[in-house]
Amino acid sequence: MQNIIDHEIHKRYQNLTVIFRKNGSVATPHPARPKNTSVCIFCKNKGVSQLKQQFEDTQLHGETQMIELEDQIVRCGKVDGATKKQCPHRFHLSCISFATPIWKFNAQYLSLDRNQGRLWCPDHYCEICFTDGNQQFASRGQFMHEKNTVRAFHQQCVPAGYMKMENGKVEFKIYTEDRSAFGRARFNHTRICDNCGLHTGKLRNCETCTKSFHENCSRPGTQTHGGSKICNSCQFDCRFRIGDVVFVPGYNTFQVARVIPWGHFTPWPNRVLLQYLSSNRIGSAAIATVYRPAPRLCSQIYKSWVQLMYTKENIHHRVQREVRFVRDQLRLFSGARPDIPRPTPQFHDSYMTHPALRANRIAWKARPKFESHRYLALEQTINMGLGVFATADICENTVIGEYIGLTLSKKEYDRREELAKLSADQERKFYTMKVGAWMQKKNSFSMQSVPFYVDAAKYHNITAFINHSCDPNCEVEKEIVELKNGRDYEIIRLETSAVASKALKQQAAG
């Protein structure tokens, strides 16, 4: 019975019209792994949360607005696909809404039906992949968990600087609090902002690692490590993988190295074993003295590094080789992530309607007018993920299907777009197309057009996976149809603008 109640609360939460605004760049502590799973993992309280009033009286456009959902303690909605067991962790709606244990963690965005569909605790996201901006990818695959706190990592993303690892659990100390990890290390700071990749403007050096940052980019905290100003990576105790390419800043240079396993050596907490790629020399270093750039900024960081370190006068032949080597390593690293397969998508054969649109009396649940063409197949591409291919030649001007999905109101579409921007998810799903319906105005015989959107992120058929192309052979057309309720709606059909050849599939596979 309690699971049914929790399910309803999860559904109501993901459809809240208000947006909980918080600073996603200010860290909250990683919750300790609970021994009592009946209490909230964040506040350790079974009763009222300290954030109850802040949750129920949220700010919207500068005005306080009561939301139609009481702050309650609910169970994590993650169910293991193999064992069918549900995660035992519980949390208050207010605590999960305002918590940021991982950089840009936004529970409201992640609970949308296009993402997880329910509220998940941080124990089901790989911190390394999530921090890199791959929030969808971070929730897939098998995980290892930190022994003492609610933190998780892909089994392929073994975090560097661990203290102990056994039985699928890893253990480490927060390196900004582990003074023994620094020793007498002196930080050669990057002099490049870790958040925007630029070297211009007033930069501040992090006092607990080798990174630099603009204060208006980082909004650093002042509590950790004796009240010093620290970067985002140190606030969130961000880790990188064993196997990642990293950079050791020196005087006017970057030494390129790869993090390698300790092997027969005893792991030293918050230190890493490095193999320098230019000389194959092996040595250890404090994790705080190693620079691991954000993959999304690799291109900008390279440009800033070249402008900062070298001029036309001092770039001679040897230095040019070094610059090219760093450039190539940054390019490789920018696209590197573990190989975790994407689950096979489930196709639907009818439209679904969001509750907010049903309230406007303009929505429908109907089968599409055009069925998907029988010569279409979904297969993996080289660089673009899943793609649609022709299994046989399809003639020009042939309708190959209708774009279906969840129909949304403009207000709900805008809310989802704003949540996506706040979350900084690089894998946010762009599957929405704008259409319209025609309704009779109140107290009038004239008709008005009402815009709404078809979101194919979760409820979709094969047409949702047709990729953009610089040399397209398919185009989008809108058509007006009349349904049983007597209203006219726009639908989106896709048809070939050129012959869709089976040979293209063979070229992509090669």
User: Of all residues in the chain, what percent are helix, strand and coil, respectively (each to 5)?
Assistant: 25, 25, 50
pLDDT of residue 507: 40
**pLDDT by residue (tens digit) across 149-173?**
999 999 999 898 888 888 878 888 7
Range 179-334: architecture per CATH = Roll (2.30)
Q: Which CATH class is domain 352-509?
A: mainly beta
Plot region of 486 (φ>0 → left; ψ -120 to 50 → alpha; else → beta)? left
Task: Note the pLDDT tens digit of each residue in 250-286.
Answer: 766 778 899 999 888 888 888 899 999 888 899 988 8
The pLDDT tens digits for 228-255 are: 578 888 888 889 999 898 988 876 677 8
Angle made by CA atoms 431, 93, 96, in degrees to the nearest 5: 70
Q: Are 431 and 348 in contact (CB under 8 A)?
A: no
* pLDDT at site 184: 46
- Report pLDDT for 144: 93
108-151 pLDDT tens trace: 999 998 899 999 999 999 999 999 989 999 999 999 999 999 99
What pLDDT score does 304 carry? 86
Residue pLDDT, tens place only, 184-205: 456 688 888 988 999 888 888 8
**Separation CA 494–CA 489 (nearest Å):** 16
The two beta strands, 143-146 and 169-171, are parallel
pLDDT at 403: 93
Q: Could you tell me the two tokens for 150?
A: 């609610």
Q: Which residue has the higher pLDDT, 447 or 6?
A: 6
CB 20 within 8 A of CB 58: yes
Whether the Cβ atoms of residue 396 and residue 473 lie closer than 8 Å to each other: no
Higher pLDDT, residue 388 or 174: 388
Answer yes or no: same fold for 179-334 and 352-509: no
Give residue-wise pLDDT tens across range 423-442: 888 888 888 999 887 766 66
Q: What is the mean pLDDT of the chain?
A: 81
Per-residue confidence at 350, pLDDT binned at 50, 70, 90? confident
Spatial CA neighbour of 474 closest among 493, 496, 500, 492: 496
CA distances to 361, 440, 450, 481, 493 from 486, rounded to whole Å, are 12, 11, 15, 10, 21
Name the band, by pLDDT with cuts 50, 70 and 90, for residue 362.
low
So what's the pLDDT on residue 220? 45
Q: Where are the domains of the chain?
A: 2-124, 179-334, 352-509
pLDDT given for residue 149 in this prediction: 93
Share of the chain above pLDDT 90, in %: 22
* Tokens 């047709």 belong to residue: 466
pTM over 0.85: yes
The answer to which of 298-302, 324-328, 439-443 has the lowest mean pLDDT is 439-443
Task: Write out the two tokens for 354.
Answer: 């969001």
